[in-house]
Amino acid sequence: MPGPDPRRPLGPASLPRAFDAHARSYDRMVASNRRYHDHLRLSARRMGLARSSGLRLLDVGCGTGASTAALLDAVPGAQVVAVDASAEMLAQARRKNWPPGVRFVHARLENLDRAGITGPFDAILAAYLVRNLPDPDAGLRVLHDLLRPGAPIAVHEYSARDSLRSRMVWDAVCWGVIIPMGRLRSGSTELYRYLWRSVREFDGVGAFTDRMARAGFTDIRTQTMTGWQTHIVHTFLGRRPVEDDPALDADAGRPADLADVETPPAGSPSVG
């Protein structure tokens, strides 16, 4: 599978093609980060979902299925629609064993309706996706509109801009470990240099929470991870406002079927 045009710098439009080219080495790359899967599970759990097999969940930018597995860890037996723009990343995901409620769909977030993916979803996980979108504001609005009123989203994402220490750790990890390892595993450093640059340029925590608010989310909270990822990788939590439900009488409070969406547990690692 040829990668993107080497004469043009990698960016949101060409990124799915770059993931196509790296799909076969992706799982080995993330396996060398021993907290990768733990952190995805943490973000999925932080949505505080009931372990009800009736829930319909969206994993957008599912890649090889690591975030799909994290959603299933939080809600075993859920119905999960897992979407990705890279056919090769999806091919890697489909090779794994999944319960019957999981469906993989090849589509860009920007064209989900054309792929027949419509809401409402009871929760959405977007792991390492939003930073890569051509228009993150528009992408967040799409995700907001796909949620059932009152339902949560977890955006699992790098955000290092607000802290000098975070930026220094990020530079050291990228140039000392990730980029050299990318060269060894895949023969190319382009995707991993893009990763370094895109995180360097992406929103700080304050800017990203403002972005979520502008997209219409409410109840926005941020929690960070453990290890070197502390204050570098975050779960950005939010909800579609309950008031968005046209069926809801403003004085009547929450509809009964929202009772299974709980506030995330207290005592998770520190606020990012």
Ligand X SMILES: C[S@@+](CC[C@H](N)C(=O)[O-])C[C@H]1O[C@@H](n2cnc3c(N)ncnc32)[C@H](O)[C@@H]1O
80 or 83: CB nearest ligand X? 83
CB 110 → ligand X: shortest distance, Å?
Answer: 6
Q: How far is the CB of 63 from ligand X (least distance, A)?
A: 2
Q: Which is nearer to ligand X, 150 or 182 (CB)?
A: 182
Q: Is 233 in the site for ligand X (CB under 6 A)?
A: no
Q: How far is the CB of 239 from ligand X (least distance, A)?
A: 21
Stretch near ligand X under the rule CB under 6 A, chosen from 127-135, 158-166, 176-184, 214-222: 127-135
The amino acid sitting at 200 is: R
- Give 63 or 264: the residue with its C-beta nearer to ligand X: 63
CB of 19 to ligand X, least distance (A): 4
Phi-psi label, residue 227: left if phi above 0, alpha if psi -120 to 50, beta otherwise: left
Q: How many CA atoms lie within 13 A of 129 on its CB side?
A: 30
Q: Which residues pair with 124 in a beta bridge?
A: 58, 153
Residue 242 CB, nearest distance to ligand X (Å)? Answer: 28
Report the distance separating Cα 18 and Cα 21, nearest Å: 5
* DSSP state for residue 147 in the 8-state scheme: B
For residue 4, is the peptide bond before it cis, meaning its omega torsion is within 30 degrees of 0? no
Of residues 81 through 120, those in contact with ligand X by CB under 6 A are 83-86, 89, 108-110
Q: According to DSSP H, which parts of the chain are helical? A: 15-31, 36-46, 66-74, 87-94, 136-146, 164-173, 179-186, 190-201, 205-214
Residue 92 main-chain phi, psi, to 5 deg: -65, -40
Cβ closer to ligand X: 82 or 242? Answer: 82
Q: State the nearest-atom distance from the C-beta of 268 to ligand X, in Å.
A: 19
Count of residues that interact with ligand X, criterion CB under 6 A? 22
Q: Which tokens in the block code for residue 61?
A: 């930018």
Q: How far apart are CA 240 and CA 149, in angstroms?
A: 5
Asked if 88 and 20 count as a contact pair (C-beta separation under 8 A), the reply is yes
The stretch among 72-80, 126-134, 147-155, 172-180 that binds ligand X (CB under 6 A) is 126-134
Task: Give the residue, chosen from 25, 45, 92, 128, that forms a contact with ligand X under the rule CB under 6 A.
Answer: 128
Residues 22-81 interacting with ligand X (rule: CB under 6 A): 40, 61-63, 66-67
Q: Which residues contact 180 (CB under 8 A, 6 or more apart)?
A: none
- Select 15 or 80, whichever has its Cβ closest to ligand X: 15
Residue 153 or 242: the one with the smaller Cβ distance to ligand X is: 153
Give the residue closest to ligand X by C-beta. Answer: 63
Given the rule CB under 6 A, which residues bind ligand X? 15-16, 19, 40, 61-63, 66-67, 83-86, 89, 108-110, 127-129, 132-133
